[in-house]
Amino acid sequence: MSEASVLSPDDLQRLIDTLGARGYSVIGPTVDNGAIVYEPITGADALPTGRGDEQAGGHYRLTDRGDSEVFGFTVGPQGWKRHLHPPEQVLWTARRRGRGFTVEGTGTDATAHAFLGVRPCELSAIVAQDQVLTGGPFADTGYRARRDGTFLVAVNCGRPAATCFCASMGTGPAADGHYDIVLTEVADGDRHIYYAEAGSEAGRDVLATMNAAPAADADREAAHRVVETARANMGRHLETDGLPEVLRANLDHPRYEKVAERCLNCGNCTMVCPTCFCTTVEDVTDLTGSEAVRVRRWDSCFTTDFSYVHGGAVRLNGHARYRQWLTHKLATWHDQFGRSGCVGCGRCITWCPVGIDITEEAAAIQASERSR
Ligand code: SF4
Ligand code: SF4
């Protein structure tokens, strides 16, 4: 008998309720301001049923699919990182007390979250951030507390966007571990089911509590077809063999100057990227001088200030900043963390206002290396 189970569309509400009853605040995909975003939800009616998305370089539109698929979209602008590694975080507050002052930390948020609808590429991005933020000798305690309390319900991809290339990066379209439960939505003919597999004891327990029906071989085959169809329809490809070496050997490639003519240095690519982790720290005081707050905010290697060291900024022009970003993602991340810093989600392509495409830029450098 298969260990996998089958859930019906109505079971999504039971899944949300079961997670809620276990103390999780459920965060899932929902539509806001014309995009799919990840927000707290209490009902399956908040999920984007029948919505799809159309993505291209510098282009994103939600579509009405006119069907009952709940996960018929790919990814929106937000990664899950905003819930694990928030864009803004107060580190401490200092208050004047007579002739001295006191300092109060903010503690860590004890809310346990269940993420519903994590795409395989996004799971890989969470694992990448785990490595960066908790893998070294000085772990980010806030991140670790949020991450340890998180239950992950992944959803395999059936419909990659034109900007997706997870298959090249080995991160999708099927999840490979690191989840509590993974669902595959199968909607063909009269059948509409979620093929569900547990990846942890907690996941097995949730599915057992729901009395999920065991899956049949035909269900497994149908789920397999969904991800294989997605794999065959990837919008983009990135040749990863030897790529770090090619990029390291071409740091002065004229392509970087070419891309800099288009790059606005807006930093959108770093804000939407689910693996980007850089931050800056600001101290903010009130006008009376009685309170000071130290705030940590996401930062971007596309700002001049980001590379400021004594005497000035190190990366003074756009091409140096773009090169830093691309080579970190695709080459030096391997040196630091033993893997790529890109999971192939395609967000940086979709949300770049001028449609700069990381796969195209890397391929151009690879092509000139081959022609030498
Ligand atoms: S570099 Fe682009 S495609 Fe790669 S993970 Fe970041 S946003 Fe996604
Ligand atoms: S590559 Fe695109 S998204 Fe990134 S900074 Fe340049 S213009 Fe903005």
Which residue has the least CA distance to atom 3 on ligand 2? 352
User: Pocket residues for ligand 2 (CB within 6 Å)?
Assistant: 263-269, 302, 352-354, 356
Q: Which atom of ligand 2 is nearest to the CA of 262?
A: 7
Does the pLDDT value for residue 158 go beyond 90? yes
CA of 347 to the centre of ligand 1 (A): 6
CA of 165 to the centre of ligand 1 (A): 9
Ligand nearest to the CA of 263: 2
CA of 265 to the centre of ligand 2 (A): 5
Retrieve residue 278's tokens.
């850089």
Ligand 2 test: best mutation among 259, 266, 270, 306, most atoms within 8 Å of CB?
Answer: 266
Retrieve residue 332's tokens.
């030096």
Banded pLDDT at 107 (limits 50, 70, 90): confident
Q: Which atom of ligand 1 is nearest to the CA of 347?
A: 7
Q: What percent of the chain has a predicted confidence (pLDDT) above 70?
A: 99
Does the pLDDT value for residue 184 go beyond 60? yes
Question: Helix 318-327 and helix 358-371: axis angle, to 10°?
Answer: 90
Ligand nearest to the CA of 352: 2
Over the stretch 314-345, which tens digit does the pLDDT of each residue have?
A: 898 999 999 999 999 999 999 999 999 999 99
104 burial (CB, 10 Å; 0-12 / 13-18 / 19+) is exposed
Question: Helix 11-21 and helix 201-209: axis angle, to 10°?
Answer: 120
Ligand nearest to the CA of 129: 1
Q: How far apart are CA 32 and CA 39, in angstroms?
A: 9
Which residue has the least CA distance to atom 6 on ligand 1? 273
Find out whether 185 and 69 touch, Cβ atoms under 8 Å: yes
Over the stretch 210-222, which tens digit does the pLDDT of each residue have?
A: 999 999 999 999 9
CA of 294 to the centre of ligand 1 (A): 29
Global model pTM greater than 0.85: yes
Which residue has the least CA distance to atom 5 on ligand 1? 342
Which residue has the least CA distance to atom 8 on ligand 1? 345
Q: How far apart are CA 64 and CA 53, in angstroms?
A: 8
Over the stretch 54-97, which tens digit does the pLDDT of each residue have?
A: 999 999 999 999 999 999 999 999 999 999 999 999 999 999 99
Q: Which atom of ligand 2 is nearest to the CA of 302?
A: 5
DSSP 246-263: HHHTTTT-THHHHHHHH-
Q: Which atom of ligand 1 is nearest to the CA of 329?
A: 1
**What is the four-CA torsion angle of 359, 362, 364, 368, rounded to 10 degrees?**
-150
Over the stretch 9-52, which tens digit does the pLDDT of each residue have?
A: 999 999 999 999 999 999 999 999 999 999 999 999 999 999 99
CA of 156 to the centre of ligand 2 (A): 29
CA of 304 to the centre of ligand 2 (A): 14
Q: Which atom of ligand 2 is nearest to the CA of 267?
A: 5
Banded pLDDT at 2 (limits 50, 70, 90): very low
State residue 259's pLDDT score.
Answer: 97
Find out whether 48 and 67 touch, Cβ atoms under 8 Å: no
CA of 63 to the centre of ligand 2 (A): 25
CA of 273 to the centre of ligand 1 (A): 5
Which residue has the least CA distance to atom 4 on ligand 1? 342
Banded pLDDT at 369 (limits 50, 70, 90): confident
